[in-house]
């Protein structure tokens, strides 16, 4: 039996692979289980596991230097905002560079994960060799949260004769030549799809329940996410700087015929597009309010206007689900799962969530930091605060989040990248001091009987 607890990493997307690397670096025995035949998760277009929402023209909305892992920079030959093919290539290079590929079990799906009274996890898997149940001391959940489509709730009244699809299934607009397309949403996918469709469709309508601050990828030749990002500058100051820059650079949303946002910049997840405003200004995309009713081959909007349509694309986000957990054990009703620093479950000391957050900024460096943090905890180098202290911190975090962000299922796990990274750094230091005071004891004892197939050497 190992002197350290054994761990199971569920998923080998951008969060799972960096969590696996952190466990390897810290000598924690682990299995990394991936139901696909490749790494990359959401960024592997047409992924056989059907979780990928990538489309043919997809590029990242955070700049290369802000998205890369700290110990493995993206090639300088990549553009500032790489395409999904670059990102998939980068993930494959990452796992090969750090010797992770042979430690990932591909085509191995986790059917169920349950925790016994003695704290040991029983994980039932199905793979090429059949099914089996394994034991682990800890579980790291990295199954992503952009794969289970959320359709409009409740559905719009009426019926539609054309095609209704969720953006999750969108790949390219090749079949839309001469068609009339309604795109519902004001997020990043909606912007990209509306812009793409506008080059081939007869007409594109962009419908939305509320307005959004659409920001360009560059301001004065510099990626926008590299401007005014220091967490040591109060958010109110940073916001005023960005708002002033946006007013100077592109004006207001209303000047383009888009609805006025009902919130200030930074109070909703950012919508980034370098092309949408031009396509709207050119008359190629027609802004509309929310859909009110479906009327056979027509769409009635909330302002009473009616448009004929052939296709509706619902860019309405995703549900946060964990299909391997029993209902009522761990779940995220309305996409809300309170966690300590978006990582630790306050009541279960051996389950961790990597990448289960929505950052204003890039998720990959955050997941990398989470993986290191969890690994330090499993090796006794970090100690959590008391349950009461964790819950108090969670309440403060949630109060700040709900006070700042627009109330919606999209903003239940929102963080500001720079603020969050600084917060994790400070908490890690506090936890190391607590661990020293507690004699570096292991918080999760090694009890599982079977060592992982990819135990660290």
Is 454 within the bounds of a domain?
no
Q: Could you tell me how far CA 451 lies from the centroid of its own chain?
A: 31
Integer CA distances (angstroms), 453 to 95, 104, 174, 326, 358, in order: 18, 10, 45, 25, 33
- pLDDT at res. 229: 63
List, in sequence order, the alpha helices (H) in 70-198: 84-97, 188-198
User: Looking at the DSSP assignment, which residues form a beta bridge with residue 8?
Assistant: 31, 139
364-378 helix and 417-437 helix, angle to the nearest 10 degrees: 10
Q: Which of 335, 329, 334 is nearest to 348 (CA)?
A: 329
Question: How do residues 51-88 score in pLDDT, each as one tens digit?
Answer: 999 999 999 999 999 999 999 999 999 999 999 999 99
Which of 314, 332, 347 is where one domain is finished? 314
Question: What pLDDT band is residue 457 in, cutting at 50, 70 and 90?
Answer: very low
Q: Are 178 and 298 found together in one domain?
A: yes
Asked if residue 452 has pLDDT above 90, the reply is no
- The three-point CA angle 149-150-155 to 5° equals 130
Is 420 within the bounds of a domain?
yes
- CATH number of the domain that residue 221 is part of: 3.50.50.60
Q: How many domains does the chain have?
A: 2
Q: Are 134 and 277 found together in one domain?
A: no
Q: Are 223 and 340 found together in one domain?
A: no
Give the count of beta carbons closer than 10 Å to the beta carbon of residue 392: 12
Question: How do residues 268-302 score in pLDDT, each as one tens digit?
Answer: 887 999 899 999 999 999 999 999 999 999 999 99
Q: Distance between CA 24 and CA 33 in Å, rounded?
A: 15
Q: Are 322 and 310 found together in one domain?
A: no
Question: How do residues 346-355 score in pLDDT, each as one tens digit?
Answer: 999 999 999 9
Q: Which of 364, 357, 352 is nearest to 410 (CA)?
A: 357
Is 66 within the bounds of a domain?
yes
Q: Are 113 and 239 found together in one domain?
A: no
- The three-point CA angle 216-220-226 to 5° equals 70
Q: Are 128 and 183 found together in one domain?
A: no
Q: Which residue has the higher pLDDT, 267 or 32?
A: 32
Q: Are 109 and 224 found together in one domain?
A: no
- pLDDT at res. 433: 98
Question: How do residues 85-104 score in pLDDT, each as one tens digit?
Answer: 999 999 999 999 999 999 99
- pLDDT at res. 227: 78
Q: Which residue has the tokens 């025995």?
A: 29
- Tell me if 274 sits within 8 A of 192, measured CB to CB: no
Token pair of 262, please?
């009902």
Is 69 within the bounds of a domain?
yes
Is 181 within the bounds of a domain?
yes
User: Is the model's pTM score more than 0.85?
Assistant: yes
Question: How do residues 302-347 score in pLDDT, each as one tens digit?
Answer: 999 999 999 999 999 999 999 999 988 999 999 999 999 999 999 9
Q: Are 345 and 417 found together in one domain?
A: yes
- pLDDT at res. 129: 72
Question: What pLDDT band is residue 166 in, cutting at 50, 70 and 90?
Answer: very high
Is 112 within the bounds of a domain?
yes
Token pair of 16, please?
């799972």
Token pair of 429, please?
């230091």
Give the count of beta carbons closer than 10 Å to the beta carbon of residue 164: 16
For residue 210, give its domain range.
Answer: 158-314
Q: Are 324 and 310 found together in one domain?
A: no
Asked if residue 456 has pLDDT above 50, the reply is no
Q: Are 166 and 133 found together in one domain?
A: no
Is 1 within the bounds of a domain?
no
Q: Are 332 and 296 found together in one domain?
A: no
H or E stretch covering 404:
helix 387-404
Q: Are 392 and 291 found together in one domain?
A: no
Is 26 within the bounds of a domain?
yes
- pLDDT at res. 268: 83
14-25 helix and 84-97 helix, angle to the nearest 10 degrees: 20
């Amino acid at each position: 039996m190992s002197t350290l607890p054994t761990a199971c990493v569920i998923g080998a997307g951008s969060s799972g692979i960096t969590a696996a690397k952190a466990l390897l670096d810290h000598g924690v025995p682990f299995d990394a289980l991936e139901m696909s035949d490749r790494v990359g998760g959401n960024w592997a277009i047409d992924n056989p596991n059907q979780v990928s929402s990538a489309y043919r023209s997809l590029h990242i909305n955070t700049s290369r230097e802000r998205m890369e892992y700290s110990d493995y920079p993206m090639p300088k030959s990549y553009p500032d905002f790489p395409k999904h093919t670059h990102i998939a290539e980068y993930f494959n290079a990452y796992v090969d560079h750090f010797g992770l590929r042979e430690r990932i079990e591909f085509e191995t799906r986790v059917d169920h994960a349950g925790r016994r009274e003695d704290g040991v996890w029983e994980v039932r898997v199905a793979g090429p060799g059949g099914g089996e149940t394994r034991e682990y001391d800890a579980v790291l959940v990295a199954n992503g949260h952009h794969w289970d489509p959320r359709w409009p709730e409740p559905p719009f009244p009426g019926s539609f004769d054309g095609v209704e699809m969720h953006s999750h299934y969108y790949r390219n607009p090749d079949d839309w030549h001469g068609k009339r397309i309604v795109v519902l949403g004001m997020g990043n996918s909606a912007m990209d799809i509306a812009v793409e469709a506008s080059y081939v469709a007869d007409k594109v309508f962009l419908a939305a329940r509320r307005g959004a601050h659409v920001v360009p990828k560059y301001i004065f030749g510099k990626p926008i996410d590299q401007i005014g990002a220091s967490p040591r500058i109060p958010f109110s100051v940073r916001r005023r700087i960005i708002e002033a820059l946006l007013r100077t650079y592109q004006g207001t949303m209303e000047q383009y015929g888009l609805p006025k946002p009902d919130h200030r910049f930074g109070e909703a997840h950012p919508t980034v597009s370098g092309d949408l405003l031009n396509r709207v200004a050119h008359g190629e995309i027609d802004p509309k309010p929310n859909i009110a009713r479906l009327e056979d081959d027509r769409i009635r909007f909330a302002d009473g206007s009616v448009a004929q349509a052939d296709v509706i694309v619902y860019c309405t986000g995703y549900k946060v689900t964990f299909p391997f957990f029993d209902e009522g054990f761990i779940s995220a009703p309305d996409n809300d799962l309170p966690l300590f620093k978006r990582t630790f479950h306050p009541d279960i000391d051996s389950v961790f969530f990597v990448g289960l957050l929505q950052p204003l900024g890039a998720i990959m460096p955050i997941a990398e930091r989470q993986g290191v943090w969890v690994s330090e905890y499993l090796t006794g180098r970090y100690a959590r605060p008391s349950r009461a202290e964790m819950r108090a911190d969670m309440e403060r975090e949630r109060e700040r989040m709900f006070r700042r962000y627009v109330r919606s299922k999209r903003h239940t796990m929102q963080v500001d990248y720079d603020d969050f990274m600084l917060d994790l750094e400070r908490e890690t230091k506090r936890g190391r001091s607590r661990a020293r005071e507690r004699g570096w004891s292991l918080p999760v004892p090694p009890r599982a009987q079977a060592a992982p197939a990819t135990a660290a050497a």
